[in-house]
Structure 1
Protein backbone atom coordinates (compact mmCIF):
# COMPACT_ATOMS: atom_id res chain seq x y z
CA UNK A 1 0.00 0.00 0.00
CA UNK A 2 1.32 3.37 -1.03
CA UNK A 3 1.01 6.41 1.29
CA UNK A 4 -1.25 8.89 -0.53
CA UNK A 5 -0.12 11.85 1.55
CA UNK A 6 3.47 12.77 0.97
CA UNK A 7 5.44 13.64 4.06
CA UNK A 8 7.09 17.02 4.18
CA UNK A 9 10.39 17.47 5.89
CA UNK A 10 10.06 18.94 9.35
CA UNK A 11 11.92 22.21 8.52
CA UNK A 12 9.53 22.90 5.60
CA UNK A 13 6.53 22.45 7.89
CA UNK A 14 8.03 24.77 10.51
CA UNK A 15 8.70 27.48 7.89
CA UNK A 16 5.19 27.14 6.39
CA UNK A 17 3.50 27.37 9.79
CA UNK A 18 5.72 30.30 10.78
CA UNK A 19 4.93 32.19 7.57
CA UNK A 20 1.20 31.63 7.94
CA UNK A 21 1.40 32.83 11.56
CA UNK A 22 3.32 35.93 10.49
CA UNK A 23 0.79 36.60 7.75
CA UNK A 24 -2.08 36.41 10.24
CA UNK A 25 -0.20 38.69 12.64
CA UNK A 26 0.43 41.16 9.79
CA UNK A 27 -3.26 41.26 8.85
CA UNK A 28 -4.25 41.87 12.47
CA UNK A 29 -1.62 44.61 12.83
CA UNK A 30 -2.76 46.28 9.63
CA UNK A 31 -6.36 46.29 10.87
CA UNK A 32 -5.35 47.84 14.18
CA UNK A 33 -3.19 50.50 12.51
CA UNK A 34 -6.01 51.33 10.11
CA UNK A 35 -8.51 51.67 12.94
CA UNK A 36 -6.04 53.82 14.93
CA UNK A 37 -5.47 56.06 11.89
CA UNK A 38 -9.20 56.50 11.35
CA UNK A 39 -9.64 57.45 15.02
CA UNK A 40 -6.78 59.96 14.79
CA UNK A 41 -8.34 61.48 11.67
CA UNK A 42 -11.75 61.72 13.35
CA UNK A 43 -10.14 63.31 16.44
CA UNK A 44 -8.37 65.85 14.24
CA UNK A 45 -11.63 66.77 12.47
CA UNK A 46 -13.39 67.19 15.82
CA UNK A 47 -10.53 69.32 17.17
CA UNK A 48 -10.63 71.55 14.09
CA UNK A 49 -14.39 71.90 14.41
CA UNK A 50 -14.08 72.78 18.10
CA UNK A 51 -11.38 75.36 17.33
CA UNK A 52 -13.62 76.87 14.64
CA UNK A 53 -16.48 77.12 17.12
CA UNK A 54 -14.74 78.57 20.18
CA UNK A 55 -12.60 81.58 21.02
CA UNK A 56 -12.31 84.77 19.01
CA UNK A 57 -13.01 84.23 15.32
CA UNK A 58 -10.23 85.29 12.96
CA UNK A 59 -11.55 86.90 9.79
CA UNK A 60 -9.21 87.69 6.91
CA UNK A 61 -9.22 91.25 5.65
CA UNK A 62 -11.13 91.86 2.42
CA UNK A 63 -11.69 95.12 0.55
CA UNK A 64 -14.47 96.97 2.37
CA UNK A 65 -14.24 100.62 1.29
CA UNK A 66 -17.59 101.65 2.83
CA UNK A 67 -17.29 99.62 6.06
CA UNK A 68 -16.68 102.68 8.24
CA UNK A 69 -19.51 104.71 6.70
CA UNK A 70 -22.84 105.68 8.29
CA UNK A 71 -24.89 103.05 6.43
CA UNK A 72 -22.79 100.19 7.84
CA UNK A 73 -22.74 101.75 11.31
CA UNK A 74 -26.55 102.00 11.25
CA UNK A 75 -26.98 98.43 10.00
CA UNK A 76 -24.47 96.76 12.31
CA UNK A 77 -25.83 98.53 15.40
CA UNK A 78 -29.34 97.26 14.57
CA UNK A 79 -28.33 93.59 14.26
CA UNK A 80 -29.41 91.36 17.16
CA UNK A 81 -27.20 90.02 19.93
CA UNK A 82 -28.47 86.52 19.07
CA UNK A 83 -29.54 84.82 15.85
CA UNK A 84 -32.01 81.97 15.63
CA UNK A 85 -30.42 79.01 13.86
CA UNK A 86 -32.32 75.73 13.66
CA UNK A 87 -34.51 76.75 16.59
CA UNK A 88 -31.54 77.66 18.84
CA UNK A 89 -30.46 81.13 19.89
CA UNK A 90 -26.84 81.62 18.82
CA UNK A 91 -24.95 84.47 20.55
CA UNK A 92 -22.61 87.03 19.07
CA UNK A 93 -19.03 85.87 18.88
CA UNK A 94 -15.92 87.92 19.54
CA UNK A 95 -13.63 88.61 16.59
CA UNK A 96 -9.86 88.19 16.80
CA UNK A 97 -7.58 91.18 16.41
CA UNK A 98 -7.16 92.86 14.06
CA UNK A 99 -10.94 93.07 13.69
CA UNK A 100 -11.86 93.94 10.10
CA UNK A 101 -14.06 97.03 9.86
CA UNK A 102 -17.73 96.38 9.18
CA UNK A 103 -17.68 92.77 10.43
CA UNK A 104 -19.58 90.90 13.13
CA UNK A 105 -20.19 87.21 13.84
CA UNK A 106 -22.38 84.80 15.75
CA UNK A 107 -21.51 81.29 16.86
CA UNK A 108 -20.98 78.97 19.80
CA UNK A 109 -19.67 75.50 20.61
CA UNK A 110 -22.65 73.85 18.85
CA UNK A 111 -22.86 76.13 15.80
CA UNK A 112 -20.34 77.06 13.14
CA UNK A 113 -19.79 80.80 12.73
CA UNK A 114 -22.14 83.04 10.81
CA UNK A 115 -20.59 86.33 9.71
CA UNK A 116 -21.85 89.63 8.35
CA UNK A 117 -19.59 92.02 6.51
CA UNK A 118 -20.78 95.44 5.47
CA UNK A 119 -19.35 97.95 3.00
CA UNK A 120 -17.77 95.46 0.60
CA UNK A 121 -16.61 96.19 -2.91
CA UNK A 122 -18.92 95.04 -5.71
CA UNK A 123 -18.56 91.25 -6.03
CA UNK A 124 -16.99 89.96 -9.25
CA UNK A 125 -19.78 87.35 -9.44
CA UNK A 126 -22.39 90.10 -9.89
CA UNK A 127 -23.17 90.47 -13.59
CA UNK A 128 -26.31 91.56 -15.46
CA UNK A 129 -27.19 87.86 -15.91
CA UNK A 130 -26.58 86.81 -12.29
CA UNK A 131 -29.55 85.00 -10.75
CA UNK A 132 -30.77 87.12 -7.84
CA UNK A 133 -33.07 85.94 -5.06
CA UNK A 134 -35.61 88.27 -3.44
CA UNK A 135 -35.89 87.67 0.30
CA UNK A 136 -38.21 89.99 2.20
CA UNK A 137 -37.79 92.73 -0.39
CA UNK A 138 -33.98 92.59 -0.63
CA UNK A 139 -32.12 91.32 -3.72
CA UNK A 140 -29.47 88.75 -2.85
CA UNK A 141 -26.74 87.08 -4.89
CA UNK A 142 -26.08 83.56 -3.57
CA UNK A 143 -22.56 82.11 -3.80
CA UNK A 144 -21.82 78.62 -2.45
CA UNK A 145 -18.33 77.20 -1.99
CA UNK A 146 -16.39 75.05 0.45
CA UNK A 147 -19.46 74.12 2.52
CA UNK A 148 -20.51 77.74 3.11
CA UNK A 149 -23.07 79.95 1.45
CA UNK A 150 -22.51 83.68 1.12
CA UNK A 151 -25.53 85.86 0.51
CA UNK A 152 -24.67 89.30 -0.88
CA UNK A 153 -27.25 92.08 -0.67
CA UNK A 154 -26.81 93.97 -3.93
CA UNK A 155 -29.64 96.54 -3.99
CA UNK A 156 -28.70 98.84 -1.07
CA UNK A 157 -26.27 101.78 -0.82
CA UNK A 158 -23.63 99.36 0.54
CA UNK A 159 -22.89 95.75 -0.34
CA UNK A 160 -23.49 93.42 2.60
CA UNK A 161 -22.50 89.74 2.82
CA UNK A 162 -23.84 87.12 5.19
CA UNK A 163 -21.79 83.91 5.21
CA UNK A 164 -23.14 80.81 6.91
CA UNK A 165 -22.73 77.03 6.76
CA UNK A 166 -24.94 75.51 4.06
CA UNK A 167 -27.17 73.79 6.63
CA UNK A 168 -28.06 76.89 8.68
CA UNK A 169 -31.38 77.56 6.97
CA UNK A 170 -32.78 80.85 5.72
CA UNK A 171 -33.53 82.45 9.11
CA UNK A 172 -30.33 84.54 9.32
CA UNK A 173 -30.81 85.86 5.75
CA UNK A 174 -34.42 86.80 6.50
CA UNK A 175 -33.37 88.56 9.73
CA UNK A 176 -30.70 90.53 7.89
CA UNK A 177 -33.16 91.36 5.09
CA UNK A 178 -35.53 92.87 7.65
CA UNK A 179 -32.76 95.15 8.90
CA UNK A 180 -31.52 96.02 5.39
CA UNK A 181 -34.97 97.33 4.44
CA UNK A 182 -34.18 100.36 6.64
CA UNK A 183 -31.58 101.39 4.02
CA UNK A 184 -32.89 102.84 0.75
CA UNK A 185 -33.36 100.41 -2.13
CA UNK A 186 -31.21 101.16 -5.16
CA UNK A 187 -30.94 99.67 -8.64
CA UNK A 188 -28.59 96.70 -8.80
CA UNK A 189 -26.96 98.16 -11.92
CA UNK A 190 -27.07 101.99 -12.05
Structure 2
Protein backbone atom coordinates (compact mmCIF):
# COMPACT_ATOMS: atom_id res chain seq x y z
CA UNK A 1 0.00 0.00 0.00
CA UNK A 2 1.30 3.43 -0.82
CA UNK A 3 0.95 6.62 1.12
CA UNK A 4 -1.30 9.23 -0.49
CA UNK A 5 1.41 11.93 -0.10
CA UNK A 6 4.09 9.98 -1.94
CA UNK A 7 2.30 9.33 -5.24
CA UNK A 8 2.85 11.73 -8.13
CA UNK A 9 -0.42 13.56 -8.61
CA UNK A 10 0.63 15.53 -11.70
CA UNK A 11 3.60 16.87 -13.63
CA UNK A 12 6.88 17.35 -11.79
CA UNK A 13 7.27 20.58 -9.85
CA UNK A 14 10.21 21.73 -12.06
CA UNK A 15 8.04 21.45 -15.19
CA UNK A 16 5.30 23.54 -13.58
CA UNK A 17 7.77 26.26 -12.58
CA UNK A 18 9.32 26.30 -16.07
CA UNK A 19 5.86 26.58 -17.66
CA UNK A 20 4.96 29.44 -15.32
CA UNK A 21 8.21 31.30 -16.13
CA UNK A 22 7.60 30.90 -19.89
CA UNK A 23 4.01 32.14 -19.52
CA UNK A 24 5.06 35.19 -17.48
CA UNK A 25 7.82 36.02 -20.01
CA UNK A 26 5.36 35.73 -22.91
CA UNK A 27 2.87 38.06 -21.20
CA UNK A 28 5.68 40.54 -20.43
CA UNK A 29 6.84 40.49 -24.06
CA UNK A 30 3.28 41.01 -25.30
CA UNK A 31 2.77 43.95 -22.95
CA UNK A 32 6.09 45.52 -23.96
CA UNK A 33 5.16 45.19 -27.65
CA UNK A 34 1.71 46.65 -27.00
CA UNK A 35 3.19 49.58 -25.08
CA UNK A 36 5.32 50.59 -28.06
CA UNK A 37 2.51 50.26 -30.60
CA UNK A 38 -0.54 52.47 -30.83
CA UNK A 39 -3.33 50.68 -32.73
CA UNK A 40 -4.89 52.75 -35.47
CA UNK A 41 -2.06 55.29 -35.38
CA UNK A 42 -0.07 55.41 -38.61
CA UNK A 43 3.73 55.30 -38.44
CA UNK A 44 5.27 58.71 -37.89
CA UNK A 45 5.73 60.62 -41.13
CA UNK A 46 8.97 62.50 -41.66
CA UNK A 47 8.69 66.14 -40.61
CA UNK A 48 8.77 68.75 -43.36
CA UNK A 49 10.91 71.76 -42.67
CA UNK A 50 11.13 74.85 -44.80
CA UNK A 51 14.58 75.82 -45.94
CA UNK A 52 16.00 78.69 -43.91
CA UNK A 53 19.34 80.32 -44.71
CA UNK A 54 21.93 78.71 -42.46
CA UNK A 55 25.27 79.91 -43.87
CA UNK A 56 27.23 78.49 -40.93
CA UNK A 57 25.51 75.08 -40.66
CA UNK A 58 28.68 73.33 -41.82
CA UNK A 59 30.84 75.00 -39.13
CA UNK A 60 32.56 72.83 -36.54
CA UNK A 61 30.42 74.38 -33.78
CA UNK A 62 27.23 73.11 -35.45
CA UNK A 63 28.73 69.67 -35.98
CA UNK A 64 29.64 69.54 -32.27
CA UNK A 65 26.03 70.22 -31.29
CA UNK A 66 24.36 68.09 -33.98
CA UNK A 67 26.62 65.10 -33.30
CA UNK A 68 25.64 65.12 -29.63
CA UNK A 69 21.87 65.46 -30.00
CA UNK A 70 19.82 63.06 -27.90
CA UNK A 71 17.13 60.71 -29.19
CA UNK A 72 14.71 62.11 -26.63
CA UNK A 73 14.00 65.60 -25.27
CA UNK A 74 11.52 65.31 -22.43
CA UNK A 75 8.40 63.75 -23.99
CA UNK A 76 9.67 64.30 -27.54
CA UNK A 77 11.36 61.58 -29.64
CA UNK A 78 13.85 62.29 -32.42
CA UNK A 79 12.05 62.54 -35.75
CA UNK A 80 13.13 62.00 -39.31
CA UNK A 81 13.15 65.10 -41.54
CA UNK A 82 11.79 64.88 -45.10
CA UNK A 83 14.28 65.18 -47.91
CA UNK A 84 15.74 67.49 -48.83
CA UNK A 85 16.50 68.05 -45.16
CA UNK A 86 17.85 71.52 -44.41
CA UNK A 87 21.48 71.45 -43.34
CA UNK A 88 21.97 72.02 -39.62
CA UNK A 89 18.41 71.00 -38.65
CA UNK A 90 17.03 68.38 -36.26
CA UNK A 91 13.54 67.69 -34.95
CA UNK A 92 11.71 65.80 -32.23
CA UNK A 93 8.01 65.01 -32.00
CA UNK A 94 5.62 63.69 -29.39
CA UNK A 95 3.30 62.24 -32.04
CA UNK A 96 0.85 65.13 -31.76
CA UNK A 97 1.91 66.84 -34.96
CA UNK A 98 3.78 69.49 -32.98
CA UNK A 99 7.53 69.35 -33.26
CA UNK A 100 10.53 70.75 -31.43
CA UNK A 101 12.93 71.98 -34.13
CA UNK A 102 16.58 72.91 -33.73
CA UNK A 103 18.46 74.78 -36.45
CA UNK A 104 22.15 75.63 -36.29
CA UNK A 105 24.31 78.08 -38.22
CA UNK A 106 21.72 80.79 -38.81
CA UNK A 107 22.31 84.48 -39.26
CA UNK A 108 21.71 86.80 -36.30
CA UNK A 109 17.94 87.27 -35.83
CA UNK A 110 16.85 90.65 -37.23
CA UNK A 111 15.02 91.54 -34.00
CA UNK A 112 18.08 90.86 -31.82
CA UNK A 113 19.30 94.42 -31.23
CA UNK A 114 20.99 96.33 -28.43
CA UNK A 115 18.61 96.34 -25.48
CA UNK A 116 16.78 93.13 -26.45
CA UNK A 117 15.73 91.04 -23.45
CA UNK A 118 17.84 87.93 -22.89
CA UNK A 119 17.06 84.90 -20.75
CA UNK A 120 19.74 82.58 -19.42
CA UNK A 121 18.97 78.87 -19.31
CA UNK A 122 21.70 76.63 -17.91
CA UNK A 123 24.50 79.09 -18.81
CA UNK A 124 23.24 79.74 -22.38
CA UNK A 125 21.82 83.16 -23.30
CA UNK A 126 18.59 82.97 -25.32
CA UNK A 127 16.61 85.62 -27.20
CA UNK A 128 12.91 84.82 -27.79
CA UNK A 129 10.87 85.57 -30.91
CA UNK A 130 7.12 84.87 -30.72
CA UNK A 131 5.01 83.92 -33.73
CA UNK A 132 1.42 83.27 -32.67
CA UNK A 133 1.45 80.52 -30.07
CA UNK A 134 4.92 79.23 -31.02
CA UNK A 135 8.19 80.52 -29.62
CA UNK A 136 11.58 80.40 -31.27
CA UNK A 137 14.53 80.83 -28.96
CA UNK A 138 17.91 81.88 -30.37
CA UNK A 139 21.13 81.00 -28.55
CA UNK A 140 22.96 84.30 -29.00
CA UNK A 141 26.16 83.80 -27.03
CA UNK A 142 27.85 81.07 -29.11
CA UNK A 143 30.15 81.04 -32.14
CA UNK A 144 27.08 80.23 -34.27
CA UNK A 145 23.44 81.16 -33.81
CA UNK A 146 21.11 78.30 -32.95
CA UNK A 147 17.31 78.50 -33.08
CA UNK A 148 15.03 76.27 -31.04
CA UNK A 149 11.35 76.39 -32.03
CA UNK A 150 9.00 75.05 -29.37
CA UNK A 151 5.33 74.16 -29.78
CA UNK A 152 2.78 75.33 -27.21
CA UNK A 153 2.82 73.25 -24.04
CA UNK A 154 6.29 71.78 -24.61
CA UNK A 155 7.46 72.86 -21.17
CA UNK A 156 11.02 73.80 -20.19
CA UNK A 157 12.70 70.40 -20.66
CA UNK A 158 13.72 70.74 -24.35
CA UNK A 159 15.44 74.11 -23.87
CA UNK A 160 17.07 73.00 -20.62
CA UNK A 161 18.48 69.78 -22.08
CA UNK A 162 19.68 71.49 -25.26
CA UNK A 163 21.22 74.32 -23.22
CA UNK A 164 23.27 71.73 -21.35
CA UNK A 165 24.43 70.20 -24.64
CA UNK A 166 25.19 73.58 -26.24
CA UNK A 167 27.04 74.75 -23.13
CA UNK A 168 29.20 71.60 -23.16
CA UNK A 169 29.78 71.60 -26.95
CA UNK A 170 30.31 75.20 -28.03
CA UNK A 171 32.31 77.87 -26.24
CA UNK A 172 30.48 81.00 -25.16
CA UNK A 173 31.31 84.31 -26.83
CA UNK A 174 30.16 87.86 -26.10
CA UNK A 175 26.73 88.59 -27.53
CA UNK A 176 26.65 90.55 -30.82
CA UNK A 177 23.28 92.33 -31.08
CA UNK A 178 22.50 94.58 -34.00
CA UNK A 179 22.24 98.36 -33.62
CA UNK A 180 19.11 99.70 -31.90
CA UNK A 181 16.22 100.56 -34.18
Same fold per TM (> 0.5)? yes
Contact 1:93–1:108 (8 Å) recurs in 2: no
Q: Would you say the 8 A contact 2:140–2:176 is kept in 1?
A: no
1:175 aligns with 2:161: yes
Aligned with 2:64 (options 53, 59, 74): 74
Specify the alignment match of 1:92 in structure 2: 78
Aligned residues: 136
TM-score, normalization by structure 2:
0.71
Q: State the 4+ residue runs in structure 1 displaced beyond 4 angstroms.
A: none
TM-score, normalised on structure 1?
Answer: 0.67
* Equivalent residues of 1:54, 1:108 under 8 A apart: no
Render the CA deviation track for 1:17-61: whole Å, top value 9, x for unaligned: xxxxxxxxxxxxxxxxxxxxxxxxxxxxxxxxx99x941111111
Deviation track 1:104-146 (CA, whole Å, cap 9, x = no partner) reads: 0001423611100000011001001100001111110011112
Look up the match of 1:64.
54
1:186 maps to which of 166, 173, 180:
173
Question: Which aligned pairs between 1:1-190 and structure 2 lie closer than 5 A?
Answer: 54-84=44-74, 88=75, 90-110=76-96, 112-182=98-168, 183-189=170-176
Question: Which structure's CA Rg is the greater one?
Answer: 1
Root-mean-square deviation (Å): 1.9
